[in-house]
Amino acid sequence: MHKKDITDNNIQEFWLELSEKKFNNNQIQKEDIMKAITKESHSDISILKKRLKYKLFYCIGFAILFLILLLFNLSNPDLTILFGFSITAYAIAFIPMYMNYRKVDDGLSQDENILETMKRNLDTITSVLRIEKLWGMIFFIPAVIGGILLGSVQSGMSLMDCFSDTRLLLTMIGVSIVLVPLMTWGSNKANKKAYGGLIENLKNNIVRLETIG
């Protein structure tokens, strides 16, 4: 074929020739396919799923740790309440996280079109990030308050004493007031850096697919 313009009539012929020359000559090795399908996925959804899995392990691990501590301190009602509260907090964090983990599917359904898959991916990413933020609140804030209370209980104070001690109460409230917005800000910033571009891209592509014409 010699140098010629493309027109509405020959553009497809042009493209098919191009495809034949440019892409059909590539050799695909069986070994490469085997290697690729046994590797771990680096897709964002897979990474998020893995992150959720680790957090579930943390939850289970800490719940077991607090359960052991509780069993060893059954004679101390204050410590029993404190550890019982911690176990409850982890259980509360675990349930929605586990539900989300089960929902995250990094495979593709044949019945889904690209628009539906993108919407599902966007929904998955935003809900996982939301749940991670909640996990952060449940994990860190009770940990800090629990740490303050545990220190006080071990130095001889009862839980009732702790809650009636204005200075200690103010410290706990102050820590919570500082920690909650700080953590929200920090996680928002980290998530924006890690996933902001991807979320924006998904949103744009969804809008484009829905409104293009």
Partner 1 sequence: MSESQEIEYISQIEMHKSIIYKVIELYVDDAEDKKDMYQEVLLQGWKSYRNFRRDSKFSTWLYKVALNTALTFRKKQKRIITANVIASHTDHQADENHELLFKVIKKLDDIEKMIITLHLDGYKNKEIAEITGMTSNNINVKLYRLKAHIIERFKLLYHA
Work out how close the CB of 192 gets to partner 1 at its nearest, in angstroms, rounded to a whole number: 15
At 147 the three-state DSSP class reads helix
Applying CB under 8 A, the span of 33-41, 141-149, 169-177, 183-191 interacting with partner 1 comes to 33-41
CA distances from 36 to 39, 42, 97, 107 (A): 5, 11, 30, 15
Through-space distance between the first and last CA atoms of the chain, rounded to whole angstroms: 34
Q: For residues 162, 168, 173 and 174, what is the CA-based torsion angle, rounded to 10 degrees?
A: -170
Q: Of residues 84, 135, 149, 208, which one binds partner 1 by CB under 8 A?
A: 208
Q: Of residues 49, 55, 100, 121, which one binds partner 1 by CB under 8 A?
A: 121
Q: For the stretch 27-37, what's the b/e string if a residue is b when 16 or more beta carbons lie within 10 angstroms of its beta carbon?
A: eeeeeeeeeee
Tell me if 171 contacts partner 1 by CB under 8 A. no
Work out how close the CB of 135 gets to partner 1 at its nearest, in angstroms, rounded to a whole number: 24
Q: List interacting residues with partner 1 (CB under 8 A).
A: 1-8, 11-12, 14-19, 21-26, 28, 30, 32-37, 39, 41-45, 106-110, 113-118, 121, 197-198, 201-202, 205, 208-210, 212-213
